[in-house]
Structure 1
Amino acid sequence: MMNRWNIPNWLENEVIARDICCVYCGIQFGSGSARKSKASWEHITNDARIVTRENIALCCVSCNASKGTRLLDDWIASPYCLNKSITPQSVADIVKQALPQPPGYP
């Protein structure tokens, strides 16, 4: 079985267990009544054909709407991320792995 985004059940369950808060801003899902704290499916690299544990994540509706179809490193440099203090160092490990790392980066 797959969900409507073609994510297989086993992967959906794995990601739900791993991502208990937004992989970008860190807000805990359901921590408020606002829609923006609800979890939404995210392709870290914007390619719906890449359905792997390295590319599928959960983020809040607010971050997902802001990122849209932009490349991850372009979005991280956006005013939205600046305003929310989202940096390459502050994101979840799954996102850090998707960011290009400069030479010598620990």
Structure 2
Amino acid sequence: MANKWGIPVDVEIFVKDRDKNCVYCRVEFLESYDSRKSKPSWEHIVNDVRVNGKDNIALCCISCNASKGAKLIEDWLQSEYCKRKKITIDNVATVVKEAIVNPPEIKNN
């Protein structure tokens, strides 16, 4: 079973429990989404919709998701957006660091 984005339900539950802040800029997600900045959105760290494991699915704020788009994570971290927001490999969430070091792949069942 998967959600409307193709993310398996068990992964969705795990990620929602793990990611209470944007995995990139670390802004806290709030219960009431008064601004786009505090609203979580689904993120594929490695931009491949077929890679839907908990090592590639994360929650990030809408601003970071819109900025990253389809860019490779390594390229995006060098962008003006990341420089302005002081987002670096050193201060992103552990799941992002691990995805950079050991990129998630499609798992054959």
Q: Same fold (TM over 0.5)?
A: yes
Letter in 2 for 1:40: S
Deviation at 1:37, TM superposition (A): 1.5
CA RMSD across the alignment: 1.5
- Gap runs ≥5 in structure 2: 103-109
User: Taking structure 1 as the reference length, what is the TM-score of the superposition?
Assistant: 0.90
User: Taking structure 2 as the reference length, what is the TM-score of the superposition?
Assistant: 0.87
Letter in 1 for 2:26: G
Deviation at 1:2, TM superposition (A): 1.4
- Gap runs ≥5 in structure 1: 102-106
Letter in 2 for 1:56: I
CA offset digits 1:60-94 (Å, max 9, x no partner): 00000000000000000000000000000000000
SS in 2 for 1:26: coil
CA offset digits 1:40-78 (Å, max 9, x no partner): 000000000001111000000000000000000000000
Identity %, equivalent residues:
52
SS in 2 for 1:24: coil
Aligned residue number for residue 45 of structure 2:
44
| Partners of 2:27 and 2:37 within 8 A in 1 | no
Letter in 1 for 2:21: C
Aligned residue number for residue 5 of structure 1:
5
